[in-house]
Amino acid sequence: MKIYFLGGSFDPPHLGHLGIAEYCIPHCDKFLFIPAKQSPHKENIPFASNNDRIAMLDIMSKSNPKIEIDTFEIESNSTNYTLHTVEHLEEKYPQSELTMVIGLDQLKRIKEWYKINSLLKRVKVICFNRDGIEKNNLDKVEIIPDFKIVVSSTEIRKLLAQNNTKVHKYLDNKVYNFIKRKQLYL
């Protein structure tokens, strides 16, 4: 079984995340969103609760049966590194081929990751590059150039706080309605 996975805070999940999943789905049997409780590389905790972020991911991905949400990182009681998540996936899906999906921002810091050499022996890596072609120093990383959905959760939170209508082009309508109903990011 070929499994692709994308981790992140998904605070909120947006059409860029969905676009990445939709690009990958023809190449895999299952695509996993893996929301983090808190990234070990970031100081800030997510603005939305774990349950709200899971609910938004579920709303956004419900229409595709190949997309699932794995809550391993959110349910973990300790600092969780990507290697721990990969170990979890290897146990949950034995004999599967794992492909980690990352963005250019993560690729630039990947050599700083916890036990990166061990991680790269266990997974393939695909990097979505929003800024044109970037030099790739790692043989095991495939670059997907010119990914056209340029958006960040940080920018979306700012637009939501300003009640700016531009936010609609970045969010699934049902996710937007959930955010408004729950009064998130205000």
- Which CATH number does the domain housing residue 51 bear? 3.40.50.620
pTM over 0.75: yes
The answer as to whether 89 is a domain residue is yes
44 Cβ contact partners less than 8 Å away, ≥ 6 residues apart: none
The tens digit of pLDDT for each residue in 1-43 reads 999 999 999 999 999 999 999 999 999 999 999 999 876 555 6
- pLDDT top residue among 132 and 59: 59
Domain coverage including residue 20: 2-149
In a domain, 176, yes or no: no
Number of domains in the chain: 1
- Structural domain includes residue 48: yes
Confidence at residue 45, expressed as pLDDT on a 0 to 100 scale = 76
Is 155 part of any domain?
no
Per the domain annotation, does 173 fall within a domain? no
Q: Report if residue 185 sits inside a domain.
A: no
**Which residues does 64 contact at the CB level (< 8 Å), separation at least 6?**
21, 22, 25, 31
Q: How many other CB atoms sit within 10 Å of the CB of residue 26?
A: 7
Give a yes or no: residue 58 inside a domain: yes
